[in-house]
Structure 1
C-alpha cells in the first residue's frame, strides 16, 4: 500500500504551521499583489503628472509639494481634514461620518505625518483589507478564476481610485464585505459588529443589514420560527453603534438630526437623483457619473439570477437604487463602492477570456484619465 494513501480508520494529523502559512500566503498573493500594483500605478501617475504640471484647477491653484500621497486628498477630503483637526466645529461638517477622521487623527498623532497623508494611508489600509475579504468571499461563491476576474474589474472600474483617496468608501467596502462574509459563515454577531463600524464610516453601509437579515433567515430555512432566533437580536448592533454618532450630535449641537437638516442648504445638490438629472442642466461630469453607474447597476441586477448570489443581491440592488435616487453628485465614487455588482460581471467576463484584457485595460486607462483630473483638482468628486 502506498504511503500516500491513509489506512482505513487512521486519523490524519492537522497541517503543520508551515503548511498553514504557505496556504495563507497562496491565498493572499493575488489580492495583495493586485493592491500594491494598482496603488503603485495610481501614485506614480499622480506624481508624474504633477511634476510636469503642478497647477491646480481650483484654489490655491498651486501644488505646494511634488505630488506626495496628499495629492489624493482633494475635495471632500478637505472636510475630513477639518474634522480630524478641529472636530465638528460647524453644522455643515456633520454630513461626514466620524470613522475616517478619527482614524486619520490617530495615525497623525502616532506617526507625525500630515493629516492629509494620514487620511490617505487610512483609506488604503482599508483598501487592502477590502480586496482580501472580497477575494475570499468571491472565491467561496464562484471559485478562484471568477474571483480573480471580479477583483480585477472592481479595481479597474473607472471610479475605483476613490478607494485610494482620503474618502471613507474603502472602509465601507471592507466592513460591509467583512460583515457579509462573517454572516455567510454563520458568525452573525461578529457580522453585526463589523457592520456597526461600517455605519460609522458611511451610513449607507447599513443597507447591508438587509443581507444579514436575509442570510440569517435563509440559514434557518425561513418560516416564522426563524424570526425568533436569538441571533436576530444581533441586527440591533449596527443601529445602536451608528446611533452613537447621533447622540454626539445631540450633545454637540442640540439636534441629533442636524446632519439630515443641513442637506437642504449647502448639500442640497448632493441629494439629487436621476429624476432631477433628467430634468435639469447638470455639469458634464455628472452625466459621466450617470452613464458609468449603469455598469455596477447591471451587475447588481444580475445578482438576482443565481440563488447563491441572493445574499449579495439583497445588499447590492437596494444600495444601487438608493444611489440613483439620492446620490447624483457623488454617483461616480458611490457606485464604485457597490462591490457585490462586480461578481456577476466577473463571472460573465470569465466565460469570455478574449475580452478580459481589453475590458480591464480599457477601464484602467479611463480610470487613469479621471485620476489625472482628480489630482489636478478638476471637479471629479
Structure 2
C-alpha cells in the first residue's frame, strides 16, 4: 500500500515537473512565431539571419562590437570618439567564448543564448513565486511572449541580468550565501547596478539573524564569526572591480565606464526633475503619450511596484530595485522601460498581482500575447521609448 502511494506521488511529481518545463518552452516558441510574424510583415527579407539581425538595435550593436573586437584604446583613428567602456563585459565575453567553439555569426549565438537565459529564468522563478502556477504562467508569457519579449531575444544584457538576479534571490531564499555572492559578482560584471545586489544579501543575513533572536547590535559580531558570510559579501563586487582594474591597466581610468556616459548624453541631475520633464513632454499630435512620457510613466510604475515589495516585507528586493531605478534616473530617462522590465523582482510581483483572480489572469495573458506583435513592430521601427 505504501509503495503504491509513493508511486502515485512520484508520478504526480513527474507530471508537475513536465508541466513546469513545458510552460516556458511553449511561450518561447509562441514568442518566436509572433515576433517573426511582425518581422515578416515589414521586411522583404524573411531568412533567419535577416530576422535575427533586424532585432539587433541600439545597445545590441555595441555588444556585438565588444564581443568581436574587445574594448578599444582611445583614440583610434577612423572610429567613433565614444568608447565601448560604458558596456560591461560578462555577456560579450560569454558570447565570444561560445563563438570560439562554434563558427557561427555573433548575433546568432547571442540570440540563442538570450533565449536560453529567458527559458532558464522562468524555471528559476518557479520556487521564487511559491509555486503559484497562474503567476508562473503569466511570468513566462511576459518574459518570452510578452510585449517586451524582444529584449530577451537579441544581444542585450537583460536576459543574463534577469537570470542572475533570479539565481541570487533563489540562493537567498535557501540561505545559500556563497551562491548569492557569486551571483552578485556575475551581476556586477553584467551591468553596473548589479553590484548593489550585495545590499540585498546583507539585508537577508540581518533578517535571518533577527529571526533567530539576535539583536541588531550583535549582527556585526555574528558576521565576524561566520567566514562564509564574510566571503559572500567580499566576492559580491568582484565583477565590477575586475572590470575597473582592466580599465585602469588599459586606459589609465578605472572609472571610464562612468566617465564615458557624458558622451551618451547622460548628465547628472535630479530624478524628480527628469520625471517631471518627461511627463511634461506632450506629443506634437494625437493622444498617445510621447516617448519621454512613456519612459517617465514606466519609471513611476517601477517605483510603485518597488513600494509594494517593501510593503510585502521583501526589503532586500525592494532596496535593490529602488537603487537600480533611481541611479539611472539621476542622469535621464533613457532606457527606463528596459531597466524596469529587466528587474526580475518587479516582473514576478506583477505576475503574482495579476494572477490573483482568474479574470485578471485571463485578461493579462491575452494582453501579453496580443501586444507582443505590436510592440515588436515598434522595436523594429526604432521607437525611442524602447531604447
Smaller-chain TM-score range?
0.7 to 0.9
Quick check: 145-154 or 122-131, which moved more? 145-154
Query: Which residue does the alignment assign to 1:57?
Result: none
Segment drifting more, 186-195 vs 226-235: 226-235
**Partner residue, 1:254:** 252
Would the alpha carbon gap of residues 269 and 162 (structure 1) be closer, same or farther in structure 2, given more than 3 Å must change? Answer: farther
Paired residue for 1:122?
113
What is the CA-CA distance between 1:374 and the residue it aligns to? 1.9
- Of the three residues 176, 182, 185, the one matched with 2:171 is 182
Conserved? CA contact 1:77–1:166, under 8 Å: yes
Q: Which moved more, 1:192-201 or 1:291-300?
A: 291-300
* Aligned counterpart in structure 2 of residue 344 of structure 1, from 323, 343, 349: 349
Of the three residues 352, 355, 365, the one matched with 2:370 is: 365
Whether 2:237 is the aligned partner of 1:239: answer yes
Structure 2 SS opposite 1:96:
coil
**Residues 32, 215 of structure 1: alpha-carbon distance in 2 compared, 3 angstrom cutoff:** farther
Q: Aligned partners of 1:89, 1:334: CA distance in 2, in Å? A: 26
1:204 is matched with: 193
Shift of 1:118: 2.1
Larger mean Cα displacement after TM superposition, 83-92 or 25-34: 25-34
Match of 1:43 among 36, 43, 46: 36
In the alignment, is the contact (CA less than 8 A) between 1:160 and 1:333 conserved in 2?
no
Per the normalisation by structure 2, the TM-score is: 0.81
Residue 178 of structure 1: how far off its partner (Å): 0.1
Does the aligned pair in 1 maintain the 2:49–2:108 contact within 8 Å?
no
Structure 1 residue 195 corresponds to structure 2 residue 184:
yes
Q: How far did residue 156 of structure 1 move?
A: 5.9
Quick check: 1:271–1:329 contact (8 Å CA) kept in 2?
Answer: no
The answer on whether the counterparts of 2:122 and 2:140 sit within 8 Å (CA) in structure 1 is yes
In 1, are the aligned partners of 2:99 and 2:109 still within 8 Å (CA)? yes
Cα distance change, pair 277–342 in 1 and its aligned pair in 2 (3 A) = closer
2:322 to 307, 310, 317: 317
Q: Note if contact 2:118-2:143 (Cα within 8 Å) is conserved in structure 1.
A: no
Aligned with 2:330: secondary structure?
helix
SS of 2:193 mapped into structure 1: helix
Deviation at 1:332, TM superposition (A): 1.2
Alpha-carbon deviation of 1:122? 2.3
- Alignment match, 1:69: 52
The SS at the match of 1:190 is: helix
How far has the Cα of 1:351 moved from its partner? 2.5
Give 1:58's aligned residue: none
Residue range with higher mean Cα deviation, 253-262 or 201-210: 201-210
- For residues 244 and 74 of structure 1, the distance between their equivalents in structure 2, rounded to whole angstroms, comes to 28
Provide, for residues 255-309 of structure 1, a one-character-per-residue CA deviation record: whole Å limited to 9, x for no partner: 11111111122342698845235347868323222223444333222112223x3
Residue 152 of structure 2 corresponds to which residue in structure 1? Answer: 163
The answer to whether the Cα contact below 8 Å between 1:207 and 1:315 also exists between their aligned partners in 2 is: yes
Residue deviations 1:49-79, cap 9 Å, x none? Answer: 323xx6xxxxxxxx99873222221111111
Aligned to 1:219: 208
Q: 1:60 aligns to what?
A: none
Name the residue aligned to 1:32: 25
Partner Cα distance (1:131, 1:67) in 2 = 27
Q: How much does 1:158 deviate? A: 3.4
Asked if 2 retains the 8 angstrom alpha-carbon contact of 1:32 and 1:131, the reply is no
Gaps spanning 5+ residues in structure 2: where? 75-82, 284-289
Distance 1:271 1:88 in 2: 28
Structure 1: any 5+ residue segments left out of the alignment?
Answer: 7-11, 55-62
Q: How many residues align?
A: 360
Q: Structure 1 stretch 288-297 or stretch 160-169: which is displaced more?
A: 288-297
Q: Is the 8 A contact 1:108 1:118 kept in 2?
A: yes
